[in-house]
Amino acid sequence: MIQVTLPDASQIQLEPGSTAFDLAMKISPGLARNAVAAVINNEARDVSRTLQDGDKVRILTFNDDEGKRIFWHSSAHILAQAVTRLFPEAKPTIGPPIEQGFFYDFADLLVSEEDFDRIEKEIQSILNDNYETHRIEYPSQQVALEEFSNNPFKRELIENLEEGLSAYRQGEFVDLCTGPHIPKVGMAKAFKVLKTSGAYWRGDSANTQLTRIYAISFPDKKLLKAYLHQMEEAKKRDHRILGKRFGLFSFQKEGPGMPFIHPAGMVIWNELMAFWRELHIEDDYTEIKTPAMLGRELWETSGHWHNYRENMYTSEIEEKIFAIKPMNCPGGMLFYKENQFSYRDLPQRVAEVGNVHRHEMSGALSGMFRVRSFHQDDAHIFMKPTDIKSEILGVLRLAHRIYSQFDLSYHLELSTRPEKSIGRDEDWELTTEGLRSALEEYGMPYQLNEGDGAFYGPKIDFHIRDAIGRTWQCGTIQLDMSLPERFDLGYINEEGERVRPIMLHRALYGSIERFFAILVEHYAAKFPLWLSPVQVRFLPVADRHHEQAQKWRLACKAQGIRADVDASSESINKKVRNAQLEHVNYIIVVGDREVADPVLSVRTRDTHVHGGVPFGQFLEMVQREYTSRSSQPSVGAQ
């Protein structure tokens, strides 16, 4: 018999020659039916993989993030099989999973939305045949080149690989792939082709233009139905449309992927940052600002020059190469190194909202969700080993205060040491246990992702859920054993020795631009009063009422309330309708009655009218709602 270990440390005995699928079946027939792949000793493998004595095994299903990626990449092969059946001249190139679904790029293919039904019918035929997927490992590069002799794109990929060449076969279709794959194509019971667009081979406009087809699949038709309903809701909330409609931000051809924040958007931006700074001051953070451009030698020290160079913008000045920072961390390391710290000075909580730039392919840009210029609310916490648990708990509590302010629920995921990593075993054990212990004390359930941490340390990720049920990975807590070593950081311990600090990266909004976009869609641009660009609007009935409307606007302004006056010649009904369409929180008509006796009828943007509110009382209520950052209207509240 052989013995394998499950994620909960329990052990199961199996017959020699048993596969990961056999293990899943022994655990539960239901798990076996839903098994997408298996993680064996931290490597994702097919469920047909034979297990060895002592293996550590985790069965993946569609419910796991890694399982979704494998499911969707396998589905990309199904899409490619259907397309090549219908369009024999089409040449498949690559088909990766993305955040929601997958795409596949083809050369020598022209398709439009009119072809989607045909493609989906062919996909259904493939699913009905329920082909098993078989892994093919090529003994040499030459054999692989012969297999794909009619596809120059696959040949180029093969020529850049000298070992580990493999492909997957399903029916007549064979595609170059490292795997793993779902065991049978019929697991993808629900399939939808979503859209098509242009792309370039390897993302370079100098290369061949390709046709990209986006699609998504699920193991259950109910999941697809729910997804399509969610997409319909998401269209109504699309931040790119709402951002333009409400004058929040824009993009210009002179700066692709680099957003322009407009005055109304800056109101929201500044409120977000004021809230952020208030909480960080309470939690004893120090805020710094580091340069946007730093010399090449810094990026060589940090490792970015060798590992991230293609995503960095560079410039040569006086025969010296500089790079615009793609992340704030190295600047934070220089700040720490500028000072001499003892154990009494730690922890040092150093925050920076830095503008960073990363070169993203034009096809990957997506409104404010994926940009080239953005701001990160980073913080680097330098601490003693004994501080790990308390500092993690502090960040968890701070994150909760931030997300709950926006009525965003979230779940936590802990990712541990990957196969390829740096650092000593004892450091990984110390930091991973620090994260795990903090999560256990925090008391919130979390998902464990074995082997999915960064190469430099374990991490905790925050996945927030918006008003229509979509999840977004925003905040992160990462323990880093690489940068303190690279920059030779230290502090003086109790024995007077210079020792290395433990360092924690953390971001809570993540990208401010991305978080802004999430909020636009979460609220459908109906922001709570404290975030609203215009909180109160006065509507004079006639010219003689303008003076009173302006007086009340100035009274609001004096109390820090954002108010304006609609002095247009439109009818009152039209003014009211416009204010409601612009999602102004409180709308007040100013006529003869209001001038004679300042008792207001206050309209809300949801058409409710609350009468008999004295202006002074209204001002107090709105100011209290604003300063408390309440998500509930104060006027009309019981």
**Known catalytic residues?**
329, 358, 376, 378, 380, 459, 505
Buried b / exposed e over 525-551, threshold 16 CB at 10 Å, is bebbbbbbbbbbbbbbbeeebeebbee
Which class for 56: exposed (0-12), middle (13-18), buried (19 or more C-beta within 10 A)? middle
3 state SS of 616: helix
3 state SS of 567: coil
DSSP code at position 42: T
Here the tokens at position 203 are: 């993302």
Quick one: which of 19, 18, 21 has its CA closest to 32? Answer: 21
Here the tokens at position 578 are: 């416009």
Q: Taking a C-beta distance cutoff of 8 angstroms, is the pair 38, 12 a contact?
A: no
Q: Taking a C-beta distance cutoff of 8 angstroms, is the pair 71, 182 a contact?
A: yes
E strand or H helix that includes residue 179: none
Nearby residues of 281 by Cβ (< 8 Å), 6 or more positions away: none
Quick one: which of 194, 215, 15 has its CA closest to 98? Answer: 215
**Going by DSSP bridges, is the β-strand pair 536-540/586-590 parallel, antiparallel, or unpaired?**
parallel
Q: Taking a C-beta distance cutoff of 8 angstroms, is the pair 322, 300 a contact?
A: no
Looking at the DSSP bridge assignments, the partners of residue 210 are 199
Looking at the DSSP bridge assignments, the partners of residue 272 are none
Here the tokens at position 441 are: 């004390």
Residues comprising the chain, all counted:
638
Give CB contacts under 8 A, 24+ apart, made by 11-16: 14/51
Looking at the DSSP bridge assignments, the partners of residue 4 are 12
DSSP code at position 418: -
**What angle do helix axes 388-405 and 263-282 make, rounded to 10 degrees?**
150
